Amino acid sequence: MNRKHLRAGLYSICAITVATLALSNANGPGGDRTGAPGSSGNCSGCHGGTAALGGDLVITAVDVATASMVTTYEPGKKYTIGIKMAGTSTRKGFQATVLDAANKAIGTVSNVGTGATSYTSGTRTIVGHNTPGLGVWYFDWTAPTAASGNITIHASGVVSNMNNNDNGDQVIKNSLTLTAPVSSVKTNTKPTLTIFPNPSSSLISFSEELHEINIISISGKTVASAQRANEMMVEGLTVGQYFVIAKNATGQIVHLNFVKN
């Protein structure tokens, strides 16, 4: 091969290598770039620039059973989460995660739609693009079986300027909070329904027998449960505040709290 052809071949290889590196995040960067508290930031960690590309990011939640858009959730129900991005480019990408008020993963992700995938980063489930798209992705999220306070869907996205590198793109982020269900967590106003002693170091007693009892930590985790009882051992629990969600004799859901000392 003469020197002219060798030089041309090297230029071609370099061009292919640069293009490959420029598109290295086309199937998603991995990790947690959702912009949520405790994440590694958002898409600006790789994509630079503040280009005005008409970018926008909207998060929606739809009750699968009723096909209606919601801003609250009910325990155990399934919701379709939509990530919808606007912008002048046909190459867009995103990452999203669902967290509770303590910024911990909550619920279950399933049925991730075309153009996206789910994976674990630390203790969180991340949903993100696996190929650049027009800006519409869906996945299902199933709420925990017990009400666990407000939950937030965090998402970060990038609108590419399609110049085959990571500069001059537009990075955007947004979040959607689904509030805790009011109807499923009611405070019993009957003065006879109490927990005693409160605080307690070993045993709590209820002033009447309760059913389907769940003791929940302030982080939203169920730490103890019983089908039917008028007392429960709490000696093994960490010191702190806890909630009790249960049903009384008439089937009404009651919400109480106590302190473990």
Quick: pLDDT tens for 111-155: 999 899 999 999 999 999 888 778 888 999 999 998 888 999 999
* Number of Cβ atoms within 10 Å of the Cβ of 199: 13
Q: Identify the residue with better confidence: 229 or 2.
A: 229
pLDDT above 90 for 45: no
pLDDT above 50 for 162: yes
Q: Identify the residue with better confidence: 62 or 88.
A: 62
pLDDT band at 39 (very low <50, low <70, confident <90, very high): confident
Task: Give the CA radius of gyration of the chain.
Answer: 25
**pLDDT number for residue 187:** 46
Q: How far apart are CA 259 and CA 237, in angstroms?
A: 10
pLDDT band at 239 (very low <50, low <70, confident <90, very high): very high
20-29, 98-107, 131-140: the lowest-pLDDT one: 20-29
57-61, 232-236, 253-257: the lowest-pLDDT one: 253-257
Give every strand in the sheet of 151-159, ordered side by side: 116-121, 124-129, 92-100, 151-159, 170-178
pLDDT above 60 for 12: no
Q: In 109-129, which positions are buried (b, 16+ CB within 10 angstroms) versus exposed (e)?
A: beebbebbebeebeebbbbbb
**pLDDT number for residue 48:** 58
For residue 188, give the amino acid letter: N
pLDDT band at 55 (very low <50, low <70, confident <90, very high): confident
pLDDT above 90 for 97: yes
pLDDT above 90 for 19: no
Q: Identify the residue with better confidence: 179 or 8.
A: 179
Tokens found for residue 153: 């869907």
